[in-house]
Amino acid sequence: MGIEQIGVVGAGQMGNGIAHVMALAGYEVLLTDISDEALKEARELIDANLTRQVSREKISEAEKTEALARISTTRTLTDLGRTDLIIEAATERETVKQAIFEDLLPHLKPETILTSNTSSISITRLASRTDRPERFMGFHFMNPVPVMQLVELIRGIATDQETFNACMAVVEKLGKTAATAEDFPAFIVNRILMPMINEAIYTLYEGVGSVKSIDLAMKLGANHPMGPLALADFIGLDTCLAIMNVLHDGLADTKYRPCPLLTKYVEAGWLGRKSGRGFYDYRQDPPVPTR
């Protein structure tokens, strides 16, 4: 399975990072989104991030120029049908992902591999709604994609060895490291990380500590580079809640019950950095805790 052209669905936080690293590794990338504005912003962000890599002497100016030239954009989802590998990086809602794959199916080459960057949703279930469950798997990048070294590769129950090998080869060409995860709710990273974040929110909810104290305690007491509440804001509180709901529903264990305070913040539209407010208020510099 020779992979040369890669389609990326979604030009948001994850999609633009995936397009960035794929183009830098030499792949032709076709990036799609429903919004012209999102595609324009994605190109500008990729340009800025590549420029930062040039300034830090991670890449050359020529490599930046070549990478940008490999990225094309389209608002027509079905244009991605001609690519060899498609990575869906849309919002973390199963119905949205299923609709994307259903729209793509009639336009795919027989050999095209379908993957999802989902952080928690069942790969087997997503694959079962397509015509190629054996050529479907989870391809989960960490955020921010150009910086983080890990990729989780998740096989569905029907994923064949050839598909796995092809995706592993892509990870290696990117210069990243793969961790293979079984298809259980939230896989490895988020199965461990999200309950920790949820517990930090419970610690705030129950008045054990303030936002500042909780983040300071974990940074200085556990040597974490970022406190769990600041990390939740970075990830997006809506994403954190979605993953906790997947864990709670999928494993039927009360230890995965989302903290009511997390639900309240999401209901208020306080989603973290992307909305300007979460556990910190980012409309001020430096950001200040909201509780």
pLDDT tens readout for residues 183-206: 999 999 999 999 999 999 999 999
271: pLDDT confidence band, cut at 50, 70 and 90?
Answer: very high
Q: Are 131 and 105 in contact (CB under 8 A)?
A: yes
Say how far apart CA 132 and CA 110 lie, in whole Å. 9
Give me the torsion for CA of 71, 77, 82, 84, rounded to 10°: 70
Which of 148-161 are b and which e, b meaning 16 or more Cβ less than 10 Å from the residue's Cβ? eeebbbbbbebbee
Mean pLDDT of 78-91: 96
Q: How far apart are the first and last CA of the chain?
A: 52
Q: Average pLDDT over the chain, rounded to whole?
A: 96
Higher pLDDT pick, 1 / 68: 68
Would you please indicate which residues are annotated as catalytic (active-site) residues? 119, 140, 152, 190
Say how far apart CA 190 and CA 197 lie, in whole Å. 10
Mean pLDDT of 229-240: 96
pLDDT (tens digit per residue) in 109-138: 999 999 999 998 999 999 999 999 999 999
Contacts with 73 (C-beta within 8 Å, 6 or more apart), sequence order? 11, 30, 31, 32, 33, 39, 42, 43
Say how far apart CA 121 and CA 110 lie, in whole Å. 25
Nearest to 261 by CA among 170, 200, 186: 200
Q: What is the pTM of this model?
A: 0.90
- What is the per-residue pLDDT for 1? 62
Q: Specify the DSSP element, H or E, that contains 261.
A: helix 260-267
Tokens of 225: 């580079």
pLDDT (tens digit per residue) in 17-63: 999 999 999 999 999 999 999 999 999 999 999 999 999 999 999 99
Q: In the predicted model, is pLDDT for residue 139 greater than 70?
A: yes
- What is the per-residue pLDDT for 13? 87
Q: In the predicted model, is pLDDT for residue 3 greater than 70?
A: yes
2: pLDDT confidence band, cut at 50, 70 and 90?
Answer: confident
Q: In the predicted model, is pLDDT for residue 253 greater than 80?
A: yes
